[in-house]
A and B are shown apart, each in its own frame.
Chain A
Amino acid sequence: MIATIARHESTRLLRSGQTWIMAALLAALFGFLFLKQLEAFIDVQAQLAAQDHPVGLTGFLSVRYLEPLALAFTLVAPLFAMRTFSDEFRHNTYALWQSSPVSATALVIGKFAGVLLIMSLLVLLAVSLLICMQLFVRVDFPLIGSATLGLLLCTSACTACGVFFSSLTRQSLIAIVASLALLLFSWVLGSASFSAAPLQFLADLSIANHLRGFFQGYIHTGDIAFFVIITLLFLGLSVIRLDSLRQSGH
């Protein structure tokens, strides 16, 4: 059942012109940023080589190309997820799911998986530019794997956030503004410094802080757990929201 719902959701996204426009803009961004950082690496290559522990091409591009893209995926994931439920409410198609033998959990997971599938393809497209460098130089595959895992986990959490806000309203625009506000706030938490002890926990809620290690090749279970918990939290809240709709009758 989840596979059927996921397939339906990803097919709907692929049918939408908006999806292709966003994918094209992202692809252009990937290309631009990749070439810009590649040139930057060539410019500083001699200086890097003089260091005790020189950073290689993969390490350089991981931090300078893939890490900024995490912010782009954070912004784009809610755009892809915004229609999951709000469109169903607005076009009265939600009655099809409500009257079918489909649990709220299966519906939420299915829709989330459908959006995440498309987002994952975009992540792989971004990473593939780096992998293509293997044709010319030796690339550090474990580091690429670590960065890809970070991007996928971040995308997963942001998609779940978008799905949740989409389940709250009939208006896609409200869903996207609310989810972007929350996600950007989480990024800002990472750049702010919290010197006072009581506020230090805010830094722990930052997406950026939990992502950094992945792009340097350090995978901490705590960082993985952070993204998994965020994802599960928003999916759980979405299930509760859908159940409450059956109770409230809206």
Chain B
Amino acid sequence: MAVPDPITNGSSTPLLTASALSRRLSSDAAVTDISLTLDRGDVVGLLGLNGAGKSTTLRLLCGVLVPDQGSVTINGFSMADSPLQARQQVGYLPDEPPLYNDMRVHEYLTLAGRIRGLRGNALVQRRETVTEQCLLQSVDKKLIGTLSKGFRQRVGLAQALIHEPAVLLLDEPSNGLDPQQLDSMRKLIIDTGSSSAVILSTHLLSEARATCNRVAIIHAGRLVADRPAEGTDLELVFHGATT
């Protein structure tokens, strides 16, 4: 699968800037001094072992969690000063998709679009587009509670994409997908990455290599490497960084 190279958008403002993010959860330091910059076209794999701090980092980046130190800026909006505008620029898929089992897929996507400010024809159009992109046409009228894990994951992705976010944050998006679904999910992420910036967390090096053009390795809450995804030494770097 071809992975696009980073595309510069001609603008000097990065789509996402995280500066020295630190956050303690309970008494333990969950993440320490994380800095990341993403431009349009960046598809970054946040790679790390379980418990390394990947999910916490994504939660800090999308504003679900407030950092103890550091700052996040999304498409020019500071998460601290203009949280609503900053969150408007983000699409977020947590490790467990936030789905209402008693809603139908199209109803849920309508709600997701509405709370991101879409109305009227624009909402209908975007809902149809993401339904098609995420291959949800066959289950559009079905109750979410009756869907398989793969479909649920795709509905979760569709809600994150519905408002065409500048930054897409995906926490273990390949969870529960069969090989065919995994392939279409990767294609979708790569397509999305051509017009926005994407970070996906994973603990699988193969997944990062197949989907991303950049890899950020996180270990024990610290960013220990940030480099292009291609190159034969990536495996060595990952194992070296996490042991």
Contact = CB atoms under 8 A, between A and B. Distances in A.
A103 interface: yes
Interface residues on B, range: 20 to 34
A91 B101 contact: yes
Contacts of B239: none
Among A8, A92, A96, max chain B CB count under 10 A is at: A96
B236 interface: no
B238 interface: no
Interface of A: 1, 4-5, 8, 12, 15-16, 91-103, 246-247, 249
Contact of A99 (B66, B92, B96, B102): B92
Contacts of A8: 111
A196 B114 CA distance: 55
A95 B111 contact: no
Interface stretch (B5-13, B82-90, B196-204, B227-235): B82-90
B222 interface: no
Contacts of A100: 87, 112, 115-116
A98 B115 CA distance: 11
Nearest to B171: A95
Nearest to A92: B96
Contacts of B66: 246-247
Contacts of B187: none
A202 B23 CA distance: 44
Interface of B: 23, 25, 56, 59, 62-66, 84-85, 87-88, 90, 92, 94, 96, 98-102, 111-112, 114-117, 159
B98 A93 contact: yes
A208 to B, nearest CB: 37
B189 to A, nearest CB: 18
B111 A4 contact: yes
A249 B98 contact: no
Give the 5 A-B CB pairs with smallest separation, nearest first: A96-B98, A99-B92, A101-B88, A101-B84, A95-B98
B6 to A, nearest CB: 25
Given A93-B99, A99-B94, 19 more contacts: A8-B111, A15-B102, A91-B100, A91-B101, A92-B94, A95-B94, A96-B98, A96-B112, A96-B115, A97-B115, A99-B62, A100-B112, A101-B115, A101-B117, A102-B84, A103-B84, A246-B63, A246-B65, A249-B25
Contacts of B87: 99-101
15 contacts: A15-B102, A91-B100, A93-B100, A95-B92, A96-B98, A96-B159, A99-B62, A99-B64, A100-B87, A101-B85, A101-B88, A102-B84, A246-B66, A247-B66, A249-B23
Contacts of A93: 98-100
A15 B117 CA distance: 25
B169 to A, nearest CB: 8
Contacts of A91: 100-101
A77 B117 CA distance: 30
Among A12, A15, A98, A99, max chain B CB count under 10 A is at: A99
A5 B114 CA distance: 9
B116 A101 contact: yes
B98 A92 contact: yes
